[in-house]
Chain A
Amino acid sequence: MGVTESLGAVVKAFPQARLVAFADLSSRMILSSAGTLRTTQEHLDLLCNQARACFDDPLFSLSVEAFGEPHGAVVMGSDSVRLFLRSESEPADALCCICDHSIDLAAFVEKIRETLEGITHGG
């Protein structure tokens, strides 16, 4: 299954996921995305930058010092939930998601983790 199909499968399985995007954090590029949320390139760039910001200092250093390198971040605002997961084997590979507050986050994280590893390892 290619990247596009993998992302499409996620939004089919979780309609509350309004955008699921595969990013290369090192080059700040969203390489592929799926979902019902209408986005411009500026939105995608912003999402990618937010992912980088989550895995940056000072919280990054605190996490590394206390519990090890973080690979997952959930950002909750008043209007949406964003999930950013980095691959453990290829930390530049990440999935960036915008979801409704009603999403089953535990199940979604599991699905996203599985999808990300599948993409990273070409599965």
Chain B
Amino acid sequence: MNKSTLPIVARLQSLQTAARFAPGKERVIADARDRNPLAQLLREANETMLGRSLRFSSEGGPSLTLDVAGRRVLRLSAAIGLAGAEACLNAETLEDENKDDLIKLLQAVAVPRHELRVTSGPIGRGGEGVSVGLPVALLADLLLIELNEDAADDEETAEVVHEAVQEIPDDGIELTGDLLARFTQQLGDTLVASIIVDGDNDGQTSGPEEMVSHLQGFLSDERESLDRQLDLVAAEPGGPICILLGATLVEGHSLVCARSGGAILLGVIEGDGTKVVLLAWNRALR
């Protein structure tokens, strides 16, 4: 393990992830408690987009090396301690006729309740941009394995699903003006100070003069850099976007900044912004 790897390993360990390293730069992907190491093997392959050579070894002794790219198993490049590997080894690229043999080899190396390790290296014979080989998803389907770990976890005790489909009740307020004007209307008293610059409502302010003046000064000085910041999170440059930024978002004060059609709203939210801002934005968007 080289020096640059150590901080990452330490980080992963501190996070209590499943990642564990064994001597020889091998990474443990399933341990003796794992009932389905084959699922972990396929997930490793499925998460490999760029061409890599993955060597899977079982603590029982057998190992196999797969060339993998783009969620496809391109070829079997090595097999140790496994019978019946010849057909796959001889195939330049794995095809449909190899899938049954390959599955048997995978099952032989990924034995339930045996530690399974993986090492990753450069791919042997190129694999960038290929569209051949066997899709990992196909192998997973044949083996009835769910590649998405979260879906696979469904059998475990789940928390009560939070049914949070939040209705947007019609509160009877007739919304007028452009998006930003409608947004400020919807925020109501929660918006303790605000200013809109540019657009149809240029110069519209609310709240104490001292706070408005501060917001106005900020926009005068930072308008260009603010637009650049908003562009970094907007779907498209200049596109409509709203940011709520705060220490906790649920208490004290938070900043709200919204942009639409070249106009900018900058304001201060008091209290729990999470209860009102999204609802107000959704209503204003309608």
Contacts and interface: CB of A to CB of B under 8 A. Distances in A.
Question: Are A and B physically bound partners?
Answer: yes
Interface of A: 1-5, 8-9, 11-16, 22, 24, 31-32, 34-36, 40-41, 49-50, 53-54, 56-60, 62-63, 66-79, 81-82, 101-111, 113, 119, 122
B150 A72 contact: no
Contact of B233 (A8, A41, A62, A75): A75
Given A74-B249, A82-B233, A8 B149 contact: yes
A67 B246 contact: yes
B58 to A, nearest CB: 23
Contacts, number: 174
B11 A24 contact: yes
A105 B199 CA distance: 29
A66 B253 contact: yes
A53 B119 CA distance: 35
B242 A63 contact: no
Interface in B228-284: 229, 232-235, 239-250, 252-255, 257, 268, 272-275, 277-278, 281-282
B87 interface: no
Interface string B134-168: 00000000000000011001000011111011100
B285 interface: yes
A104 B249 CA distance: 14
A11 B161 CA distance: 9
A12 to B, nearest CB: 5
Interface string B193-216: 000000000000000000000100
Interface of B: 11-12, 14-18, 49, 149-150, 153, 158-162, 164-166, 214, 218, 222, 225-226, 229, 232-235, 239-250, 252-255, 257, 268, 272-275, 277-278, 281-282, 285
B166 A104 contact: yes
Contact of A76 (B162, B214, B253, B277): B277
Nearest to A82: B233
A67 B254 CA distance: 7
B229 A56 contact: yes
B257 to A, nearest CB: 6
Contacts of B250: 106, 109-110
A8 B151 CA distance: 9
A77 to B, nearest CB: 5
A13 B162 contact: yes
Contacts of A81: 278
B272 A78 contact: no
B150 A67 contact: no
